[in-house]
């Protein structure tokens, strides 16, 4: 017993350190918390969105956080009700020294929902009902980000490739992080409060193919991340670095005890 007590005493500081590290990941991690954002584009129009932390679980040394976008319309034509959660909920996975967004799961679900919408819209003369939808991710893995970053940190990741197929029709998406760099730290004041943040600039290329057509887009963004909260401010940029739209955290409402 004495030996066991000694071992626990030695491990406790490391366990507490790991716990505090996970808490510092830039993700809201308290179940019931609702984050409200306001987006304003260059024309002055505004949009309000809300995200709610619906689940926080510890599994196999990982913290699994589910955040649901409460702003997504639940009447999307052709998409079955059971798929609403999969296309409106993002899964975050946090470990002792890193965190990631389940891009693969989310993109796969979105492509599957699109395929089902096409199938349902085709009617009786279109594709037969009940066809299996297959998802092929090859060797793709979700990019893992450090718990925190400092100015000058520049990360590179392998592309994420996903292909969804139903009968003779397929859709695919390849996401490539061309740039993921921490460009600074900043104390940011937004309507929800004042936060200590680090700034990430990203360039992401998306190659999409569907129904014989292909499209390639490059997105530029700048995001201010706060430990334990997530993004408190973000900007969509054009290729010259000019701001197209800006989103700020308007409020944080936590579940009453």
Residues 47-78: pLDDT tens digits?
999 999 999 999 988 999 999 998 876 555 55
Angle value at C-alpha 144, between 140 and 148, nearest 5 degrees: 165
Residue-range domains of the chain with CATH: 50-253 (2.40.360)
Output the pLDDT for position 7: 34
User: Residue 8 — very low, low, confident or very high, per pLDDT cuts 50/70/90?
Assistant: very low
Read off the pLDDT of residues 225-245 as tens digits, 9 standing for 90 and up.
Answer: 999 999 999 999 999 999 999
Output the pLDDT for position 122: 58
Output the pLDDT for position 12: 36
Does pTM top 0.95 for this prediction? no
Q: Do 98 and 88 contact (CB within 8 A), yes or no?
A: no
Checking if the pLDDT of 23 tops 70, the result is: yes
User: Residue 214 — very low, low, confident or very high, per pLDDT cuts 50/70/90?
Assistant: confident
Buried b (16+ CB within 10 A) or exposed e, 3-28: eeeeeeeeeeeeeeeeeebbebbbbb
């Amino acid at each position: 017993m004495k030996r066991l007590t000694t071992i626990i005493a030695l491990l406790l500081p490391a366990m507490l350190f790991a716990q505090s590290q996970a808490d510092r990941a830039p993700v809201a991690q308290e179940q019931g918390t609702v984050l409200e954002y306001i987006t304003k584009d260059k024309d002055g129009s505004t949009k309000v969105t809300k995200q709610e932390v619906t689940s926080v679980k510890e599994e196999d040394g990982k913290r699994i956080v589910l955040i649901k976008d409460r702003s997504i319309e639940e009447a999307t034509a052709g998409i079955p009700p059971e798929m609403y959660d999969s296309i409106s909920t993002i899964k975050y996975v946090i470990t002792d020294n890193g965190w990631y967004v389940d891009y693969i799961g989310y993109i796969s679900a979105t492509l599957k929902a699109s395929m089902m919408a096409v199938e349902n819209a085709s009617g009786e003369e279109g594709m037969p009902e009940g066809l299996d939808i297959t998802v092929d991710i090859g060797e793709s893995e979700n990019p893992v980000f450090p718990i925190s970053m400092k100015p000058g940190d520049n990360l590179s990741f392998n592309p994420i490739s996903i292909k969804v197929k139903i009968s003779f029709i397929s859709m695919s998406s390849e996401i490539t992080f061309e740039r993921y760099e921490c460009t600074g730290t900043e104390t940011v004041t937004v309507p929800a409060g004042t936060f200590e943040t680090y700034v990430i600039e990203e360039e992401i290329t998306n190659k999409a193919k569907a129904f014989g057509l292909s499209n390639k887009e490059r997105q530029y963004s700048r995001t201010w991340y706060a430990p334990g909260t997530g993004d408190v401010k973000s900007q969509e940029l054009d290729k010259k670095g000019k701001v197209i739209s800006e989103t700020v955290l308007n409020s944080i409402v936590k579940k009453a005890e």
